[in-house]
Amino acid sequence: MPERRTVALVTLGCARNEVDSEELAGRLEADGWQLVEDAADADVAVVNTCGFVEAAKKDSVDALLEANDLKDHGRTQAVVAVGCMAERYGKELAEALPEADGVLGFDDYADISDRLQTILSGGIHASHTPRDRRKLLPISPAERQESAAAVALPGHGPADLPEGVAPASGPRSPLRRRLDGSPVASVKLASGCDRRCSFCAIPSFRGSFISRRPSDVLNETRWLAEQGVKEIMLVSENNTSYGKDLGDIRLLESLLPELAEVDGIERVRVSYLQPAEMRPGLIDVLTSTPKVVPYFDLSFQHSAPAVLRAMRRFGDTDRFLELLDTIRSKAPEAGVRSNFIVGFPGESEADLAELERFLTGARLDAIGVFGYSDEEGTEAATYGDKLDVDVVAERLAHISRLTEELVSQRAEERVGETVRVLVESVDEEEGVYGRAAHQAPETDGQVLLTSGEGLSVGRMVEAKVVGTEGVDLVAEPLAGSLACSEEAGR
């Protein structure tokens, strides 16, 4: 019997890429490929790249070069680039990086097995030719669902899936194979974005916004629960737009309680929310539904009106603070995180001071800060009034120092609170770590439990916060509070 072909998936970038990698894994395993963790043990190393900003693109290139080095002294015979960077640059990436044996776009995902076999056999598959994916679906959101079947939408999966792709759970199984044993998993709620932020190129290679049907999201969540997942995180480029192409912009408000009722699911988290699209009903559901955590990943980007207008965004410091006050009036313990860009073209000292005013008053739990740099194909890249790179670097360093202090202060405010922690790692030497409701995976810090007796990965435990380490919390499990994963509540 011939030895099975082996493949390793190396994933960079955001949680949406992680979902896409697990879709590729599901397709490959269904077609007979053996999935391995280490690229050195694989016939083919597939690198799921990120194409968002320069640093992410550099990481993607480094990962491809590192995988290529394995061809000289390991089992690896081919290295293939997929993901956002491959979709965005296609042939250009292939020419600039001949070490990649293939550069595949989203349109290749449905035939990923054949593509890899061709490359592994020494054949040549023409590198992906980039195109503006916003033009693949109708301008009107109401007309998009009918056209969706003809467009590659990673992480969505077809309505009727091939036999054996995943264990059955309901009428449809997700086109997905888990790549780790984590008790948390992301679920794609939608793809693409209709916003036209002047600094962002994502819509051009991810396409226009299109929602997944609620039944598909529910069935995938049920399947994940069967795999031992306790927390799901809903991801997309903009979750606040969910349902607008399905005829109901409030569809998320009705879907969240249904997801929370799935057997085995302890926690439902929503990421990627647009402040300008937040509505009272959604805030109510996020702050009052059992198992749906009061967590707000709000994309503020800045707070000075002039800078926001140049970014093609809306709002200002006072309106943003009012939004946060509304949220905390309903859920004082709510977690809030956001990202910000400093050094945007035309940003004045007064604009920077306005951003500082917002940050100081916002009491955010986690903050990401980025210095502006041109992204080709974006409106902002054509702007004049660019700031000197040294000025951008100086402002980035200044705001970064400020935000470090602010998130540490916010963590200290939580000392004395009782938090419900999902245990994610148990190690005799390093200790027991998990996350509270206000902490999303990998981005918002974690909780170190002072005692790990009786705890295992995937368990929920009530604990009292007794200290902090920067953004991280130190918490003491409450006597008799160990909660089996079947327990409901938040």
**E strand residue ranges, 19-76:** 34-35, 44-49
For the stretch 415-464, pLDDT in tens is 999 999 999 999 888 889 999 999 999 889 999 999 888 899 999 999 99
Mean pLDDT of 37-48: 90
For the stretch 277-320, pLDDT in tens is 999 999 999 999 999 999 999 999 999 999 999 999 999 999 99
For the stretch 327-370, pLDDT in tens is 999 999 999 999 999 999 999 999 999 999 999 999 999 999 99
Which residues on neighbouring strands pair with residue 78, listed in sequence order?
Answer: 44
Mean pLDDT of 467-486: 79
For the stretch 99-153, pLDDT in tens is 888 999 999 998 999 999 999 888 888 888 888 898 989 899 988 988 888 888 8
Task: Categorize the per-residue pLDDT at 267 as very low, low, confident or very high, splitting at 50, 70 and 90.
Answer: very high
pLDDT value at residue 174:
59
CA distances from 454 to 211, 229, 434, 460, 476 (A): 41, 19, 14, 11, 14
Among the listed residues 441, 488, 48, the one whose alpha carbon sits nearest the alpha carbon of residue 234: 441
Above 80 in pLDDT, residue 170?
no
Average pLDDT, the chain: 89
For the stretch 232-247, what's the b/e string if a residue is b when 16 or more beta carbons lie within 10 angstroms of its beta carbon? bbbbbbbbbbbbbbbe
Contact yes or no for 188/212 (Cβ under 8 A): yes
Among the listed residues 366, 371, 324, 368, the one whose alpha carbon sits nearest the alpha carbon of residue 343: 371
Q: List, as residue ranges, the binding site for [4Fe-4S] cluster.
A: 14, 50, 84, 193, 197, 200
Q: List, as residue ranges, the binding site.
A: 14, 50, 84, 193, 197, 200
For the stretch 362-410, pLDDT in tens is 999 999 999 999 998 899 999 999 999 999 999 999 999 999 999 999 9
Among the listed residues 317, 336, 309, the one whose alpha carbon sits nearest the alpha carbon of residue 411: 336
pLDDT value at residue 100:
87
Among the listed residues 304, 311, 224, the one whose alpha carbon sits nearest the alpha carbon of residue 268: 224
Task: Categorize the per-residue pLDDT at 183 as very low, low, confident or very high, splitting at 50, 70 and 90.
Answer: very high
Q: Characterise 122 by phi-psi region: left (phi > 0), alpha (psi -120 to 50), beta (else).
A: left
pLDDT value at residue 157:
64
Q: Which string of DSSP letters, residue by residue, matches 111-135?
A: GHHHHHHHHHTT---PPP----GGG
Task: Categorize the per-residue pLDDT at 483 as very low, low, confident or very high, splitting at 50, 70 and 90.
Answer: very low
What distance in Å separates the CA atoms of residue 369 and residue 372, rounded to the nearest whole number? 10
pLDDT value at residue 122:
87
pLDDT value at residue 314:
94
- pTM check: above 0.85: yes
pLDDT value at residue 166:
47
pLDDT value at residue 326:
98
The secondary element (H helix, E strand) that includes residue 464 is: strand 460-469
pLDDT above 70 covers what percent of the chain? 93
Cβ neighbourhood burial of 15 (10 Å; 0-12, 13-18, 19+): buried
Among the listed residues 107, 102, 108, 17, the one whose alpha carbon sits nearest the alpha carbon of residue 59: 17
pLDDT value at residue 40:
87
Q: Which string of DSSP letters, residue by residue, matches 307-358?
A: HHHHTT----HHHHHHHHHHHHHH-TT-EEEEEEEES-TT--HHHHHHHHHH
Contact yes or no for 86/56 (Cβ under 8 A): no
CA distances from 124 to 19, 120, 476 (A): 27, 9, 58
Above 90 in pLDDT, residue 269?
yes
What distance in Å separates the CA atoms of residue 221 and residue 167, rounded to the nearest whole number? 13
Above 50 in pLDDT, residue 1?
no
Residue for token pair 């040294």: 390
Between residues 305 and 59, the one the model is more confident about:
305
The radius of gyration computed from the CA coordinates of the chain, to the nearest angstrom, equals: 23
What distance in Å separates the CA atoms of residue 448 and residue 453, rounded to the nearest whole number? 13
